[in-house]
Amino acid sequence: MPRIGDPAPAFTAVTTQGDITFPADYAGKWVIFFSHPADFTPVCTSEFMTFASMQQEFAAYNTELVGLSVDGLYSHIAWLRTIKEKIAFRGMKDVEVTFPLIEDVSMRIAEMYGMIMPGEDSTKAVRAVFVIDPEGRIRTVIYYPLSLGRNFDELLRVIKALQTADHFSVATPADWRPGEPVIVPPAGSCGTAKERMDGHDDGVTCADWFFCTKEIPADAVEAAIRAKGTA
């Protein structure tokens, strides 16, 4: 099973949008690579409609979507057509899924990424999420059981937080959203720690030597990570 910081395992695959070579085809992009248990299932249907409806929001942050299940290509196509033609959910209807959905009947790719968990189901992939950066490294791994639909606001928050941390060389605290204070890396020396505690590190506020924050306005965060995505 790949871990955070590992290169994303490479593969070629057939998808609903043609053949892909992963992650090479997405060099320079962030990717949310996710699995779902099966076509024509209600939780998965709600998730695909939500992903498709948010696709442009993710694209604004230089992020592509790639899905996978262990069903075949023709099943994928029929299911996605059914979603567009028949399904309405939370105000979404006529939803067209245009991001690739990988065929993985052999479970080769699902097993490569640790998406098959026999304790949950030996023939279906769990709801795995891998966030992969523009260099093809795995930056976040999230797993949900078959019964639990994903939180899509959280997935978008993860993308924004990772890009903010990279761009500004900071960390983000619990429940962070753009515009809220970010965490400044701990001081590397006693002198730096004292300067911070004495208020000499411009813009940095410290509760103690190891817990220091600074403000980055929401518009500055959004402008920086969106600009980097279109550069």
- Cβ atoms of residues 231 and 61 within 8 Å: no
CA angle 10, 13, 16 (to 5 degrees): 135
Same fold across 11-150 and 169-230: no
- Cβ atoms of residues 27 and 20 within 8 Å: no
**Which two tokens mark 126?**
């769990």
Looking at every residue in the chain, the average pLDDT score rounds to 93
Higher pLDDT, 15 or 123: 15
CA–CA dist 139, 4 (Å, integer): 5
Question: Is 81 annotated as a binding-site member?
Answer: no
Architecture of the CATH domain 11-150: 3-Layer(aba) Sandwich (3.40)
CA–CA dist 182, 205 (Å, integer): 10
CA–CA dist 230, 128 (Å, integer): 28
- Cβ atoms of residues 89 and 46 within 8 Å: yes
Task: Please determine, for residue 209, whether its predicted confidence score (pLDDT) is greater than 90.
Answer: no
Task: Please determine, for residue 198, whether its predicted confidence score (pLDDT) is greater than 90.
Answer: no
CATH 3.30.1020.10 is right for the domain spanning 169-230: yes
Higher pLDDT, 29 or 210: 29
Task: Please determine, for residue 217, whether its predicted confidence score (pLDDT) is greater than 60.
Answer: yes
44 assigned to active site: yes
The pLDDT score that the predictor gives to residue 188 is 62
The mean pLDDT value for 124-151 works out to: 96
Reported confidence tier of residue 200, pLDDT bands at 50, 70, 90: low
Reported confidence tier of residue 224, pLDDT bands at 50, 70, 90: confident
CA–CA dist 38, 114 (Å, integer): 16
The pLDDT score that the predictor gives to residue 205 is 87
Task: Please determine, for residue 15, whether its predicted confidence score (pLDDT) is greater than 70.
Answer: yes
Cα torsion for 71, 74, 77, 81, to the nearest 10°?
-110
The pLDDT score that the predictor gives to residue 1 is 86
Reported confidence tier of residue 210, pLDDT bands at 50, 70, 90: confident
In 40-151, which residue ranges form alpha helices assigned H by DSSP? 42-53, 55-59, 73-86, 108-112
Q: Where are the domains of the chain?
A: 11-150, 169-230
The pLDDT score that the predictor gives to residue 173 is 96
